[in-house]
Chain A
Amino acid sequence: MTKGTLRDMTTIDNGVNVQALLDAREALKGAPEAAQFTWRASSKWQNGVHSTTRVQHFFGLGQEQSHKSEAVFTADHPEVFAAEDNGITPIEYLLVGLASCLTAGVASVAQNRGIQLRSVESTVEGHHDIRGILGADSDVRNGFNDIKVTFTIDADASQEDIEALVAQSQKRSAVFDALTNPTNVSVEVA
């Protein structure tokens, strides 16, 4: 099977509605304003380094949109940081975002390429020198030094095609881009 072949489109099913995505791509080519999305999260300090962040509403396709239900995320720090460990650390949420984004990409690309997936699993490791955030050494950065993602994929495809899937999913991943390229971030006090 080669890249771009659609011959098995009718028989394979990864649960991704590729047709809808392809239609959206065509429609938005002529309507860039509708393609402008704003994702939102609202966070509230609880106590110590424990906070709660809620996500439900967003903007896109020219109007306010909403998830079916509100999602609530708790962030804290582990006990080795002398915290209460009510939830995962903020930087671990980046790993959640990266893994889920790449996985969604693998499924979508596989669907588009007519590749039936049986299982897709991945592990993500972010290597972090905490001397940066502690201010112990100003030459050490605050963020990850590097991130390693390992996919284990069982599919009706050659190793080479599977590797091509994973490569394409990185190429079209929002979170991969956000982590690997700088982003202008402005933080203000209301």
Chain B
Amino acid sequence: MLERGEVANSWRRERWDSLRLLTPNWLSRLPGHEYAGSDPDDYMTMGEVVEFVERYATVTRAPVQTGTNVTSVRRTDDGYHVTTSRGEISCRTVVIASGACNQPSVPQFADAVPASVRQVTPFDYRGPGQLPDGGVLVVGASATGVQLAAELRRSGRPVTLSVGEHVRLPRLYRGRDVLWWMDASGVWDQRHDEVEDLTRARRLPSPQLVGTPERSTLDLNALTAMGVELVGRWAAVRDGCALFSGGLRNVFSLADLKMRRLLDTFDAWAAGRDADVDPPERFAPTQVPEKSRWQLDLRSGEIRTIIWATGYRPDYRWLHVPVIDPKGHLRHEGGTVDSPGLYALGLPVLRRRRSTFIHGIEDDAHEVITHLTQHLAAKS
């Protein structure tokens, strides 16, 4: 098991200080390794995640070779040749577990942003103290975007949030964590070959959730109440001005409709059961700002910092096997890559919707490793 840095490296180095997991503690489990503390409904801080993963590595005696960066993987006649920062390895199979979030994904027009505005990605961001005073434009309304917008607004800065298609969720529904519903109702069990639009499901932005001890909802209405200004999807930069889409109302409607449909699914599931939940509830539609700006002069000094919460992409520059699609994603069928003996784990909706989350690894790993051992047995 090769790790470029330390165990739980990206949780240590590529996350901001205030981040907590989106999944409650009782759901943040690894095979045979569950949360044992006194707050099952709370959310782990990054420090706690690092401890949790480290403990798992120790308990399972995982053969982790830390400080070993893989620089190249090539096919050979009977397997793969792996070059690392600490030597060469020949092997019959390779499991790629480097994840989907290796690099922040930033739109091309970032190059056209005036130099007077500081640009920060979630990989560089640690906390508000590191940013200059003054206005912040947060781009993207996934979990990252809404969390950073809220944190920066609380630091006293004027915050503008550029909102494209997003996934709205309440933190609690009928008295239960919304992810309890995803788990219990079977939504997360939907398999990759049952998902209607798998490409879309795999690219879906993370839901507007935050893990806080108060278990509060952080949707766009919560941000509006805090004084965050909402603008449409950022489409282009022209003459130093950011231009935003005028379709804000529609992305709100889409997210509201999808959330309602999901809550209907939960209600239908709960109707025939003796579930310990409160009565059904519905949430107010996303409030449309009276006036939303469609352009913002980036040279005026109003915006001092831009935070690109525009998603992440994987980095397969080291993988010299022709299994990458034109968008830079790995071509695989439920974790089986189209090259004998090559496998993947830990990608969004790898085998089922649950795969995107920490506890989704258990079933995925069983199934992928079953295929891997059959592959080895067939060849020997």
Contacts and interface: CB of A to CB of B under 8 A. Distances in A.
B199 A181 contact: no
Contacts of B232: 182
A181 B249 contact: no
A140 to B, nearest CB: 12
Contacts, number: 30
Interface string A155-190: 000000000000000000000000001111111000
Contact of B246 (A138, A139, A182): A182
* Chain A interface extent, by class: under 10
* Chain B interface extent, by class: 10 to 19
Nearest to A185: B246
A182 B248 CA distance: 11
Contact of A187 (B235, B250, B294, B295): B250
A184 B294 contact: yes
A185 B327 contact: no
B247 A138 contact: no
B243 A181 contact: yes
Main secondary structure of the interface of B (DSSP, over half): mixed
B250 A138 contact: no
Contacts of A183: 246, 294
Given A183-B246, A185-B247, A187-B250, A138 B203 contact: yes
A166 B40 CA distance: 68
Interface in B210-247: 232, 235, 243-247
B327 A182 contact: no
Interface string A119-153: 00000000000000000001100000000000000
B200 A138 contact: yes
Contact of A184 (B200, B203, B235, B246): B246
B200 A181 contact: no
Nearest to A186: B249
A185 B203 CA distance: 26
Given A139-B327, A186-B249, A187-B250, A181 B294 contact: yes
B249 A184 contact: yes
B69 interface: no
B72 interface: no
Contacts of B248: 184
A186 B250 CA distance: 7
B292 interface: yes
Given A182-B246, A183-B294, 6 more contacts: A139-B327, A181-B295, A182-B243, A184-B246, A184-B294, A187-B250
Interface of A: 138-139, 181-187
